């Protein structure tokens, strides 16, 4: 088995591609060792000591190094953990993790039913135009709500904490949404 590695716009995060499916549906982010207890793989990555974030996408794992950690030292450890996991075909989540594999969609802010058509347009654009590009950079984006012309989104994985994430939200995503959905006046991180 060969695991490819790609850089991301976030210098603290690398994207690892095992050449097989990681998550069949959705994504999952781990931001602490306590979160990682739901996944043997995420837990093993945090156990290296230099990891502050793990993100599972459809066919990749993004790993964020702690400040001051040298990727040249951490990368071989991460690759070894990933190889062990995928070669052994270990489960991605513990049996006790239950339904937490994919975070629930009900974490939205509660949109006004009068805005249903606008919200559907926004969600469609995010799903078809934005999400694939963000996944290419080792992350994901989650819709949180639409209120008074403002779209609220959350960046995950490599995109969370990336120095260019605010520019991506303001110049890239905001421009796209404003172009196709005139009711959108602004995009904010939630």
- Domains along the chain with CATH numbers: 4-100 (3.30.1370.70), 105-189 (3.30.300.130)
- What is the pLDDT tens value at each position of the chain, 190 positions in all? 899 999 988 889 999 999 999 998 888 999 999 989 999 999 999 999 999 999 999 999 999 999 999 999 999 999 999 999 999 999 999 876 554 444 444 456 778 888 999 999 999 999 888 888 888 777 788 898 999 999 998 888 766 766 666 777 777 888 889 999 999 999 888 8
pTM as predicted: 0.75
Between the CA of residue 162 and those of 110, 121, 138, 144, 159, what are the distances in Å? Answer: 27, 27, 11, 19, 5
- Burial of residue 120 (CB within 10 Å: 0-12, 13-18, 19+) is exposed
Measure the CA–CA gap between 41 and 86, rounded to whole angstroms: 9
């Amino acid at each position: 088995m060969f695991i490819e590695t790609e850089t991301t716009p976030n210098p603290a995060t690398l994207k690892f591609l095992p050449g097989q499916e990681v998550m069949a549906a959705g994504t999952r982010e781990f931001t602490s060792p306590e979160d990682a207890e739901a996944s043997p793989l995420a837990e093993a990555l945090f156990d290296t000591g230099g990891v502050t974030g793990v993100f599972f996408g459809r066919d990749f794992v993004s790993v964020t190094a702690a400040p001051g950690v040298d990727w040249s030292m951490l990368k071989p450890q991460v690759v070894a953990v990933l190889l062990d996991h995928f070669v052994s075909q270990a489960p991605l989540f513990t049996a006790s993790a239950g339904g937490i594999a994919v975070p629930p969609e009900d974490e939205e802010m509660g949109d006004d039913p009068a805005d249903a058509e606008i919200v559907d347009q926004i969600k469609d654009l995010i799903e078809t135009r934005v999400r694939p590009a963000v996944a290419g950079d080792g992350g994901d984006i989650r819709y949180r709500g639409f209120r008074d012309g403002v779209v609220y989104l959350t960046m995950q994985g490599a995109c969370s904490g990336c120095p260019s994430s605010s520019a991506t939200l303001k110049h890239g995503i905001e421009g796209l949404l404003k172009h196709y959905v005139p009711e959108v006046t602004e995009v904010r991180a939630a």
